Amino acid sequence: MKTIDYHMHTCFSGDSEANPREHVLQAIKMNLDEICFTDHRDFDYPIDSFELDVENYYQTIQSLKEEFKDKIKIKWGIEIGLDLDHKEEINQLIAQYPFDFVIGSIHVIHHTEFYYGEFFKNKSKEQAHQEFFEETLKCVQEFDCFNVLGHLDYIVRYGPYQDKSVDHQKYQDIIDEIFKTLIKKGKGIEVNTSGYRDLKTCGFPNFEQVQRYYDIGGRIITVGTDSHTSDRVGENCLTVVKKLKEIGFNDVSTFTLQVKDLMTID
């Protein structure tokens, strides 16, 4: 199986100062087969007004792709914040540029975000998690402009609760519908290795949910670190790949111009 990092942020994202060239050098050091840059674009982040400079971002990654073409395969992508209040703008942006790969993530729900805690005000943990998964289902039903759903358990990172963990059994019917919708649409999920930092034991989503996705019929899957600093590029990617093979996956998925590349069966 290939070892990839398909979720990386650089200085083109508002929450990173990383030099993309340093990401490439670290990926080579980690013996990765392929990487994809996926800097942020959210149309309604209530506190931060940063807007991705797509043209400069594209030219920078294309230059790196040429420079390192004999050492590592580099792809150009984006992490788009799926937001039902901005469906037209999101679809227009993705259609406008030749992205290799698009992560669709839920960062904002009805003008409230998770990072600074606005979303969690006056909600119990169960109410917050229920709303998060319900909104995720609505987004994967409504949007077609992405390749994989980003960090399904993203909600775990935040919230003013002593125990932030998700009791998946309470929401399994919704999560199963998310998986079934993705599979029907020919889309997949990612395993986001930042979960090892936050949960200490696994990625987002956890491997029980990845197994469930596989058992339902899901075969499109990527691995990404969600790295915002170069030292985290490739972190735990090999560990995840080994676990995916145990679950039954033949290979991770890679993309060119949003079309899934032919997979190598090991």
Residue boundaries of the structural domains of the chain: 4-260
Report pLDDT for 266: 38
pLDDT, tens digit only, all 266 positions of the chain:
999 999 999 999 988 999 999 999 999 999 999 999 999 999 887 555 568 999 999 999 999 999 999 999 999 999 999 999 999 999 999 999 999 999 999 998 888 888 878 889 999 999 999 999 999 999 999 999 999 999 998 888 888 888 888 999 999 999 999 999 999 999 999 999 987 876 666 778 999 999 999 999 999 999 999 999 999 999 999 999 999 999 999 999 999 999 999 764 43
Tokens encoding 24:
């490439």
Residue 79 has which token pair? 């992490």
Residues 6+ apart with CB under 8 A from 76: 36, 37, 57, 58, 61, 62, 65, 98, 99, 100, 101
Q: Is the dihedral of CA 7, 10, 15, 16 positive or negative?
A: positive
Can you list the pairs that 59-68 forms with residues at least 24 positions away whose Cβ atoms lie under 8 Å?
60/12, 60/20, 61/20, 61/37, 64/20, 64/21, 64/24, 68/24, 68/28
CB 225 within 8 A of CB 233: yes
pLDDT in tens, 201-214: 677 899 999 999 99
The CATH number given to 4-260 is 3.20.20.140
The neighbour count for residue 232, using CB atoms within 10 Å, is: 20
